A and B are shown apart, each in its own frame.
Chain A
């Protein structure tokens, strides 16, 4: 049924009237058309007037003025009988809007109904009937009419599934064929039923089957939203109302939190604050028991997003409760940062955690639990680089201690004087300058005199600084505690070897013979290749004493032990360097070695380094040509090497900083058994340390695997290399990292190797930041904010730029800051809250 105008009118008035219609001014158009027909009546003007009337009726329909539209319709039907065919569609829609379909449905049973009329009714039903009851209850159709039967079945099914009583309903709905104008309703009913049954997949499939123009398609968007709450803003008001009613109250709050997550991800402050307001409001209404937890997490995320706390607190409708859970969360989100300021902030939060936890009865302030928190805080505080210690100095004197690792470790051992607490303190102390380690070991001995570890540390430390009498004194104490302990006995052997080398250095070779006899008595020196160490000492001593026959005998023994001259020469040369002797043998160049000797080179180097490692020989020398040869030899000649020997080669690589050696060792090591993989993945991290992200990924993955295998040594080394907590990976991600590293078999200084941006979730670099701010412009804000009183911002900026320049020139920041403070003459200020730019740093 055509609605369109039929009168071909081309005069200017008709054009202006049609222009008014096109602009939606139907009332003005009708007035003009009436006037025009009155003044110049013609068939054209009548046809035009009819067109305008019909447009006006439709406009009234659209404005929900059904009564007015019907009155006008009745008038036009009376005055324009020639337009009867064109009234049908309009009249049907008008009736539909007024809740009746009888006139249209009556056509279906009218004798002599035309195909056009039938097609029109089918189209009307298929595209515009939104309520099946209009058909099901229509008296225009007999009760057994197929359309009425179908509508009745569908209407009952729809009401049943939406009311939740549809457990026994037959969703096959065989009464409705796929060709029926009501077919789309069948899919909608099945979709709603599947949704309430929690079968999202079937629900989606049924929704996909609904044709776009059918009335049930209007329910597709809200149903999709209910399945996966996205695009809520695109829903019609009725669809939003439906979604809000169908979703359970907690789910509404969850959905608001989901929107808040997205707002944080967008980095737009206004959007975040608005989403905070909405989410906290819904949580307060529907999940009040979780309000504090939600506020804690919002506060943590807002901190990471660099938002000012005040508007966040306002948006939340009040600050979050300062309890232990809050302090713990804030400590956790700040402690993993590399930013020294945030590390210190984390220390503050952990202190607050102890206070609050004690108040809330979680544990006492003087408990082992509190000791563990101090220990953890000490480890975190230990990550502040020395050049940023001035931040600690700026803190008020009463608070300064909480940032000092030494104080925190002391506090921990005071509350829990166990080896588990002393050990991390000693581990930290041995990395400090001066006698810090020895002081900690002495503290440990005072608290726990019968623990062996601090005594052995003192032996090692004294031997390292060549204080042999002190070392022997500590060794005697260690032997009193446990003379049979493998490490005590190894320590004695080391002391004897290094003592003998010291005597050689002091040109007292005759005394070495006594040491050799003592060494020969030790069972440890008979293990593995260790007799080679005694023979090497004998060669050095007998050469100095001119006892050539003894020297020759020792050479024969050492060659036999180490299976060749190359390893013997490497060991003797290294020990000679340790003793600072002019004794040097020319090592053959790797290129001059016979192929069978060259093939032995990896094994020889590994055995020598294992001996050097045992004896703590720090001045070993490995010819460059050997190091150059190693990466080429390893792929072919590594299968006979034990994991420990491979590790020794890795040590040579890291010790000499020959990255291609380290890399080659890690390559063959990664093909070893799963138990051995973590240490070689860690070695890969060491080989690629100049590729920061890759090294971090490898070390974190090595830590993950080592922890799973209970390989505490490798796990501890991984943490040392990382200098902080590892990245948290799943087993699948670690497998992927291993796969990428295994396929990256050759080392190149110029290649960055596998890309881990996807694993580290590295955001795209955005020079101007999410707010369009220039990062370079902002990077000095912190310096400017903290400038001494009386200094202008411009002067502070110049000084800040000078600091950056000094850093780029390699001037230590500590020196620069000292010079700066001296030149300014201002007292340092305590650390205060600052607004950081942590965009994209969340999770």
Chain B
């Protein structure tokens, strides 16, 4: 099948129900998208599908044919993504960093749709787990990016 990832159509030869996560990591070699739980609990595998944050670990590849898939590797291709990354650096958000690809993409999707989010908007959008507990810095960075 063909998947459009980061603006490029890619031919992949996988079982149609292979989770998008593993297509991205193993077929396309893009390892910035992380495997954490495999059951859509943690959000480490978050990618954007047509701009929507999507847990790629439970998303069958066949379901996203014909969509625009964006991974962390190209997050800085948009103005919003650049602002989010700069805010992440300025606020020194990551610790171990393993969940942060998903956090950055979740924030990018939030701000793309809601440039000035309320606290409640942030609560609803920023639900990925972080075992290092960087939640306060994540919130501060989302705020800063929305004001940048």
Asked if A and B are interacting partners, one says no
Please list the residues of chain A having a beta carbon within 8 angstroms of any beta carbon in chain B: none
Please list the residues of chain B having a beta carbon within 8 angstroms of any beta carbon in chain A: none
